[in-house]
Amino acid sequence: MSLPLTFSKPCITNPSCSHLQPWIGLLVILALSISGLNANADSVRYQPEVNKLEPKTLECDVAVYGGTPAGVTAAIQAARLGKSVIFISFNGFVGGMTSGGLTATDLGEKESIGGMALEFYKRVGNLKGFKPSRAESLYRAMIEESKLTLLLNRPLVSAKIESGRIIVIGLQSGETVRARMFIDATYEGDLLAAANVSYQVGREPSSAYNESLGGQWQQISWKNTYQFCRLPISPFSDPENPRSGLLPEIATDPAGKPGEGDFKVQAYNFRTQVSKAKDRIPFPKPKDYDPGRYDLLARFLNLNPEVRWALNYTVKPMTDGPVQLRNGDSNNAGSFSTDYVGGNYQWPDGTYKPGSFKTIQSPRRGLTVSLPKLYEIREKIFQDHVNYQQGLYYFLANDPQVPEPLRKRVKAFGLDPGEFPGTGHWPHQLYIREGRRMVSDYVMTQANCERECIAQDSIGLASYPMDSHFCQRVVVEENGHTTVRNEGGFGHPCKKGPYPVSYRSIVPRENECTNLLVPVCLSSSHVAFGSIRMEPVFMILGQSAGTAATMAIDKDVPVQQVDYEELKRELLKLGQKL
């Protein structure tokens, strides 16, 4: 309950009211504390509040949609090269996951980072471990320095296409933006879909691109990682009675066979900023808290006393997270952890079709549902993720089913009181590890990551291991037991070092759209995207996209016809590593 704090404005602002001076600071602290205690899942939302404005058309050379790090660098680069730029963010923030909680930066090989990405990390003061609020402030400062136009809380609602070109895009505010070049820097690929560009969602079968990591049940990575310590944990509500039904958070749909594809995407979570400080915010109890949804975890926690709980990453036998808790960015780390496995299948484009397939499916084109409807679907998924992850923390810290020593260790942590004050200290950005993936004339695959196939039109390097979080949690038969296992995770190194990302992979097919670049949801297999999908790489590709968009304008050519040798020379001048 909020306490009514009322005091005379003249007394607070008038230095002569000395009798109140000692109390002012205390009142401010009390107000902030009450605000923090009242903050909960209701205060963090996916959809922003949008102010309806008088309809008008804004014009520019380059329009960048998507407030991710790729959007920031693309917009700034085009502005630095003298173009008029409108940078549009879906919500009230810029920086995506880098300002939304992911500060344990997935670097790969740091020597592969150049250009504006390296500039950002130098200015923020560290390659990793910085505060999300510091990243947001720096991005805002860099945007202000470039003198571009920033539009916040402007969800996309439509795109007008003529002769294979985007003419204008419509925003929920009522404004439209007309530009010569457009850049889709969203995590989901919403603009490319609105522009009727081909894309895929989910996992290709391994045969599609001859990928050993492709499809379901790959065998070369993560065999024993976060698999409930390979214990014969029963998936049934009554452990001895299959007719009692499955425990919550286990898929009812059967998994496919090894190598088959499906429409599942790797799990999402929030990268919370956690603290052991005395003023930490206790893990909140979400309003729709249901301890029953963690029954599988409770069973695992009490199944075998030999299991050791690391509260961190671990691959040792008979150890598990079950979550990562440390000062700063805390990620998924366990068999049943902060990743909400199976909770995100409709997020990319609003649809999901169960089942598996042996041959690659035809690309999709266009919007499967309207964007406003898609945002409603995503809001429900977003809130379900908030409820799941907040409930998980609360369960581990308070539920009597959790062994008391583990409860005590979890309770020593809480949310960082200095981060995300406007959303109850909970991150405003859900970690969208994978959305749509464009299909263009060049598809990045595992062969690129392993340097068996090298793109000759490099616009930047990637080097992080091919990395996918789990895509499904399913019932299996193992060693004579009906049990439960996670599927879809892998972490396989790019053993030959950094590899080039193709320019052709960030531009659509020329017969689909000639004035769009896509540096985030680029043309890639699920496997290769697992390596490319890192925030430093997105910054690199965003800057290259901004450069290419400018060159396409200057030469008056489609983005597919930008002279690569000229682009290469310009990128090298910018300090990009190619």
Give the DSSP per-residue string, 228-292. Answer: GGG-----EEETTEEEEEEPTTS-SSPP--TT-EES--------EEEE-STTPBPPP--TT--GG
pLDDT of residue 566: 98
pLDDT of residue 2: 31
| CA 471/CA 262 separation, integer angstroms | 10
- Output the six-digit token pair for 214: 């492709």
The helix-helix angle for 69-80 and 132-146 (nearest 10°) equals: 20
In order of their start, the domains of the chain are 57-197+532-573 (3.50.50.60)
Q: Which of 274, 473, 521, 270 is nearest to 384 (CA)?
A: 270
Task: Tell me which amino acid residue 115 is.
Answer: G
pLDDT of residue 42: 56
CB contact at 8 A, 385 and 269 = yes
| CA 284/CA 278 separation, integer angstroms | 16
pLDDT of residue 184: 99
Residue 218 per-residue DSSP state: -
pLDDT of residue 43: 84
Full pLDDT tens readout for the chain, 578 residues: 332 222 222 232 233 333 333 333 333 333 333 333 334 445 899 999 999 999 999 999 999 999 999 999 999 999 999 999 999 999 999 999 999 999 999 999 999 999 999 999 999 999 999 999 999 999 999 999 999 999 999 999 999 999 999 999 999 999 999 999 999 999 999 999 999 999 999 999 999 999 999 999 999 999 999 999 999 999 999 999 999 999 999 999 999 999 999 999 999 999 999 999 999 999 999 999 999 999 999 999 999 999 999 999 999 999 999 999 999 999 999 999 999 999 999 999 999 999 999 999 999 999 999 999 999 999 999 999 999 999 999 999 999 999 999 999 999 999 999 999 999 999 999 999 999 999 999 999 999 999 999 999 999 999 999 999 999 999 999 999 999 999 999 999 999 999 999 999 999 999 999 999 999 999 999 999 999 999 999 999 999 999 999 999 999 999 999 999 999 999 999 999 99
- The CA-atom distances, in angstroms, between 41 and each of 101, 146, 391, 561 are 17, 35, 10, 48
Q: Cis peptide before 132, with omega less than 30 degrees from 0?
A: no
| CA 66/CA 471 separation, integer angstroms | 25
pLDDT of residue 434: 98
pTM: 0.92
CB contact at 8 A, 197 and 337 = no
3-state secondary structure 379-403: HHHHHHHHHHHHHHHHHHHHCCCCC
